[in-house]
Amino acid sequence: MERIYEGMANGASAINSNFNELDETTVRNTGEETISGKKTFTEVIVFKQIKSMDDTEPESISGNSAPSGRVTYERRNGIVFVSGSGNWGSTTTGQTKVVAKLPEGFRPRESWQIGANAQGGNGENAWAIEANGEVKLTPNPGSSGTYSGWSTSYPAAN
């Protein structure tokens, strides 16, 4: 910014130059722009919507040897939302079955445990999503594990 003073030779040009410099560094109330650098806010901030650059749309994968079992996943603001439902095929009480594998970017940092009721029957099923992306079903005693539904969310591993 150039200092403006009375009687300067190129005052109008200096004022215009200062306005242009401000124009390049001023944050606008409307329109699209990129703001870089660390920002610290000392008051409450209200957003209509927050969208992260790494957000995804929901995707779905069929379960391994599962007639209708599907796992659906998406990432919003660094949080992965995962759900599964359907017929997961033949299972044996107490024996773990890998039914799907989540791609990188949608996996938890460490094993993520989920409990779920069997659909249309009694008993519970133990579900886990491993850090390597494996989605595992372990039917508990009293549960056939064939039909089950669940949903969970967790921070995405980087």
Nearest to 59, CA basis, from 78, 77, 79, 83 = 83
Sign of CA dihedral 36, 37, 38, 39: negative
pLDDT at residue 84, as a whole number: 92
Domain boundaries, the chain: 59-155
What pLDDT score was predicted for residue 6? 85
Give CA separation, 71 vs 4, 60, 64, 78, 149, in Å: 65, 6, 10, 19, 10
> Per-residue confidence of the chain (158 residues) as pLDDT tens digits?
888 888 888 888 888 888 777 776 676 667 787 778 888 889 998 888 888 888 899 999 988 888 889 999 999 989 999 999 888 887 778 889 999 999 999 999 999 999 887 776 666 788 999 999 999 998 876 656 578 889 999 999 86
The CATH number assigned to the domain with range 59-155 reads 2.60.40.1830
Nearest-5° Cα angle at 69, 66 to 73:
130
Q: How far apart are the first and last CA of the chain?
A: 42
| Other beta carbons less than 10 A from residue 133's beta carbon | 17
pLDDT value of position 70: 93
**Tell me, what's the pLDDT at 81?**
97
| pTM (predicted TM-score) | 0.69
The answer to whether 75 touches 105, Cβ cutoff 8 Å, is yes
- pLDDT, residue 121, reads 63
E strand segments, the chain = 59-62, 70-76, 79-87, 97-101, 112-117, 124-129, 134-139, 147-155
Q: How many residues appear in the chain?
A: 158
pLDDT at 82: 96
